Amino acid sequence: MPHRHDAPSHNRAPIAPSASQLKQIVVPKFYKTFQCIGAECENHCCHDWTVTLDKDTYQKYKKHGDIKVRQIAQKHTSSCGQHSLNYRQIKMDKDGNCPFLDTDRLCYLHKYHGEEILPATCQIYPREDRLMGTDLVSSLSISCPEAARNILLDPSAMVLDLEPLSARQALPKFYLTGQIDDIETLRLFKDAAFAGLLAENTETVEGRLYNLGFLFRLTAQRLAQKEALRPLFTNFTQLIHDGKLNDLFAKTQPAQKAQEFVTQQLLGDGGFIRDNQAFTHYQQRAFKKVISKTQITQAADSNSPVAEGRLDLKDFYNSHCRQGFTSLVDSHGHAFINFFLHWVYSTPFDLTNADRLFARFAQFTLKFFYIRLICSLLADDEEHGALLVGVIHSISRRADHDTHLANEVYQRLQAGGMAQHEHFLGLIKV
């Protein structure tokens, strides 16, 4: 089960950063306009998650004056080790809901006892405020449907404001920290990544993701050769301006074998998306379309979409997905670009290890591949904005918080000799 805010190698500090640590706060528009919609939420945040309690919170609940709080602490939590920060785990009910979720779909703890009593996980989510050098970078997890709506549907959602400290009444109570060796190089890397995604002479959504992938590839190569990174970013921006990356993308061949493998994984066992009701709902609807349009059949003894038969993806994509994807981009091209920008903006990339860096991009490409396939198949059935929010937030709820599963698909590709840089760049093009 995923842990919310599972950010490997990055810790959440439980005390607000001091003013002396900070120079400015970076606040995107999507962050400013966010408000939790509570009972109206279509995929409540405690659904299908693991929520842990630290030792103090657990003791507080066990001795609480409200008998319901005491009972839930005693009967609906289980031990998860001796670590005082992750001491007990709330046991979700058979429908995947938190025992504190009331019949009106509001949190009992929050409703009757206020925000202060909530476990840290619930006080924070979906906020992801990260200390990066002297900046506090504010963000939201795209796995919350309301956050996803804010990020994806507003073309200007990714406009960033730099707030001086004096403009802030209060700093966040919790924030993410992590070892970043060279903040300035990371900043330059991100600037180059934004330039690739926003390149005026790149016309397609896929071309923009290719630009980003090429930056990851060049950076990983330099890291492997122990060469300085900063000169690369200037060269990269020049490549974009000269239209060289567009030419390369035009010449790139689809990585057909890898695409078919990844599609079979998605249809077979959800790839890295399992135990996620919201995503499974989209996946199964898309799978029915695949069945109705191809020779592929559903395995007789399975309730899940396990495919039998070979899928010629190129043929299938051209006949059944290309038109759907084109219509999605026509109506919501900005949603895809914001999805990419949000990922770059929010991720503290590790620029010290070539393999780890490229694996990050590979996992994001896999996620995009799944999103494109499913949304293209369902584009005729649902309002495009709602479809993109539904698919992107639900796939993110699993994929972003449990990298172990994404690694599994990545490793299977590696085992099949399909995890070279070329394969992932070739996954983008169908």
Which one of 1-9, 33-41, 272-280, 289-297 is the stretch in contact with ligand SF4 (CB under 6 A)?
33-41
Could you tell me if 176 and 7 are in contact, meaning their C-beta atoms sit under 8 angstroms apart?
Answer: yes
Q: Identify whether 348 is preceded by a cis peptide bond (ω within 30 of 0).
A: no
Q: Rounded to an integer, what distance in angstroms lies between the CA atom of residue 159 and that of residue 235?
A: 26
Half-sphere exposure in the Cβ direction for 367 (13 Å, CA): 31
Nearest to 295 by CA among 278, 309, 314: 309
Cβ-based nearer residue to ligand SF4, 278 or 371: 278
Which one of 37-45, 91-99, 249-257, 352-360 is the stretch in contact with ligand SF4 (CB under 6 A)?
37-45
Under the binding rule (CB under 6 A), the answer on residue 386 touching ligand SF4 is no
Nearest to 57 by CA among 136, 3, 13, 123: 123
DSSP letter at 319 equals I
Among 119, 126, 196, 324, binds ligand SF4 (CB under 6 A): 126
Cβ-based nearer residue to ligand SF4, 104 or 330: 104
CA angle 95, 101, 106 (to 5 degrees): 130
Q: How far is the CB of 254 from ligand SF4 (least distance, A)?
A: 36
Cβ-based nearer residue to ligand SF4, 41 or 85: 41
Q: How far is the CB of 38 from ligand SF4 (least distance, A)?
A: 6
Could you tell me if 349 and 212 are in contact, meaning their C-beta atoms sit under 8 angstroms apart?
Answer: no
- List the beta strands (DSSP E) in 314-391: none
Q: What is the CA radius of gyration of the chain?
A: 22
Under the binding rule (CB under 6 A), the answer on residue 344 touching ligand SF4 is no
Cβ-based nearer residue to ligand SF4, 41 or 306: 41
Q: How far is the CB of 393 from ligand SF4 (least distance, A)?
A: 8
* Exposure string for 270-304, b = 16+ CB within 10 A, e = fewer: bbbbeebebbbebbeebbebbbeebebebeeeeee
Under the binding rule (CB under 6 A), the answer on residue 146 touching ligand SF4 is yes
In terms of C-beta density within 10 A (0-12 exposed, 13-18 middle, 19 or more buried), how is residue 364 classed? Answer: buried
Q: How far is the CB of 364 from ligand SF4 (least distance, A)?
A: 22
Q: How far is the CB of 307 from ligand SF4 (least distance, A)?
A: 31
Under the binding rule (CB under 6 A), the answer on residue 162 touching ligand SF4 is no
Cβ-based nearer residue to ligand SF4, 96 or 178: 96
For ligand SF4, the nearest residue by Cβ is 45
Q: How far is the CB of 98 from ligand SF4 (least distance, A)?
A: 11
Q: Rounded to an integer, what distance in angstroms lies between the CA atom of residue 136 and that of residue 179?
A: 14
Site for ligand SF4 in 106-125 (CB under 6 A): 125
Which one of 139-147, 154-162, 212-220, 259-267 is the stretch in contact with ligand SF4 (CB under 6 A)?
139-147
Residue count, binding to ligand SF4 (CB under 6 A) = 11
| DSSP string covering 92-126 | P-TTS--TTB-TTSSBHHHHHH-GGGS-HHHHHTT
Site string for ligand SF4, 388-417 (x = CB under 6 A): ------------------------------
Q: Beta strands 88-90 and 77-79: pairing type?
A: antiparallel
Element (H, E) at 364: helix 354-378
Among 1, 13, 36, 224, binds ligand SF4 (CB under 6 A): 36
Cβ-based nearer residue to ligand SF4, 41 or 188: 41
Query: Three-class SS of residue 304?
Result: coil
Phi-psi bin for 180: left (phi > 0), alpha (psi -120 to 50), beta?
beta
Which one of 14-22, 140-148, 238-246, 274-282 is the stretch in contact with ligand SF4 (CB under 6 A)?
140-148
Under the binding rule (CB under 6 A), the answer on residue 144 touching ligand SF4 is yes
Q: How far is the CB of 41 from ligand SF4 (least distance, A)?
A: 3
Cβ-based nearer residue to ligand SF4, 146 or 350: 146
Cβ-based nearer residue to ligand SF4, 115 or 242: 115
Q: How far is the CB of 16 from ligand SF4 (least distance, A)?
A: 21
Q: How far is the CB of 40 from ligand SF4 (least distance, A)?
A: 8
DSSP letter at 8 equals T
Site string for ligand SF4, 38-77 (x = CB under 6 A): x--x--xx--------------------------------
End-to-end CA distance of the chain: give it in Å, rounded. Answer: 32
The binding site for ligand SF4 (CB under 6 A) comprises 36-38, 41, 44-45, 125-126, 144-146
